[in-house]
Structure 1
Amino acid sequence: MKALKFLFLTFLLTSCGAVVHYDYEKSTDFNHYKSYNYFGDMKTGLSQLDTKRLIRVMDAKLESMGLTRSEHPDFFIDIFSQDIQNRTNSNVGIGVGGSGRNVGGGLSVGLPIGGQKNTRELTIEFVDDTKTGMFWQAISESNYSDNDTPKKREERFHSLVEKMFSSYPPTSE
């Protein structure tokens, strides 16, 4: 039963469909950072409306984490993205297994169905201009549709931001 709960939890956490990678400067004291703002000259690679949606969702998340948006911040946030098209998810898998005296093998081939998928790579960086420069970064890759409604876009940004900030501040290894 525990294995089933673990499997369900894993599915739930990965159901957003986004892959997220983190990196950070290990000498950073994250307790020092209490206020933030965005770079004024950000070129996010998103439409103006999507940029506003993303910033609105990020502000809510950062506020819930105890950070405050300020005109004189401890650090700045930079956001940029790029579209990646024509990704195919085809793959081949080979497996061998057995139990008791029986041994079996299998071959599976995954073919992409549904045509071309739009994939967006979104990068969020925390930068301290006065000290260390960039000290935290999250990069996500997820599918999106140009035909999504504004509500669906905001929901997608919400789940993406939740996943991207799930490991902030990082815990020491």
Structure 2
Amino acid sequence: MRVLMMSMLVLALTGCAGNVVTDYNSSVVFGNFSSWSFAENAGSSAFVSLDGSRVQSALERELNRKALRKVPENEADLLVNWQIVEEDRLEQSGVGLGFGFGTGRFGWALAAPPPVREITEGKLVVELVDTGSDQVVWRAASRRYLNENQSPETRRELIDEVVSEMFSKYPPGIQ
């Protein structure tokens, strides 16, 4: 029983791991950055959406925790660019139908697969751009998705959780 409980705990923790993928420029000294601003095209829309304001709030909170201060764009060491990248996936719902007949080892059957529908989901991508070189120096992408069926509170909690996990890996090499 004890081994079973430990196995279940390990599986649960493994399932929680790896919801964010990060990449960075290993030649950059991240300790040199002390200020940031949102990039002019952050969010890639003329207006900040509801999810966009949730993302910006979460980003501001996490960057403040990293002792980086928000300044006007022309004074910033880092520009924060983010976007919610939409991806389509197919989802099967329900069960298929089928029938068959036969005797012994031989028979015939017909079956219909379960219904399939296309779902559009969004994953969050955050990039930090060095204003001195105009190069992306750090990037994080979520493996968890927002979808249109989630409540506003669920969306906010998911965004907060994902952004927090992203910045748990910043600066690189210090975990």
TM-score exceeds 0.5:
yes
2:87 alignment partner AA = I
Looking at structure 1, the residues matched to 114 and 80 of structure 2 have their Cα atoms a distance apart, in angstroms, of: 36
How is 1:121-132 mapped onto 2 (pairs within 5 angstroms)?
A: 121-131=123-133
Larger Cα-atom Rg = 2
Q: Which residue of structure 1 lines up, in the alignment, with residue 13 of structure 2?
A: 9
* CA distance 1:65–1:129, shift in 2 (3 Å): closer
Preserved CA contact (<8 Å) 1:36 1:74: yes
Question: Structure 1, unaligned stretches of length 5 or more?
Answer: 90-110
| Among candidates 81, 88, 91, match of residue 78 of structure 1 | 81
Query: Could you give the per-residue CA deviations for residues 93-145 of structure 1, whole angstroms, max 9, x where no partner exists?
Result: xxxxxxxxxxxxxxxxxx99985443323211100121361111112232322
1:41 alignment partner AA = N
Question: Structure 2, unaligned stretches of length 5 or more?
Answer: 93-112
Q: Does 1:164 find its partner at 2:166?
A: yes
* CA distance 1:114–1:60, shift in 2 (3 Å): farther
Percentage of matched positions with identical amino acids: 23
Looking at structure 1, the residues matched to 158 and 140 of structure 2 have their Cα atoms a distance apart, in angstroms, of: 16
Query: Could you give the per-residue CA deviations for residues 34-69 of structure 1, whole angstroms, max 9, x where no partner exists?
Result: 111101233436961111111001111111122211
Q: Does 1:42 find its partner at 2:33?
A: no
1:24 alignment partner AA = Y
* CA distance 1:47–1:76, shift in 2 (3 Å): closer
* TM-score normalized with structure 2 length: 0.70
1:78 alignment partner AA = N
Secondary structure in structure 2 of the residue aligned to 1:157:
helix
Secondary structure in structure 2 of the residue aligned to 1:77:
strand
Secondary structure in structure 2 of the residue aligned to 1:66:
coil
* CA distance 1:44–1:159, shift in 2 (3 Å): farther
2:79 alignment partner AA = F
How is 1:1-173 mapped onto 2 (pairs within 5 angstroms)?
A: 4=7, 5-11=9-15, 13-14=16-17, 19-44=19-44, 48-71=49-72, 72-87=75-90, 115-131=117-133, 133-171=135-173
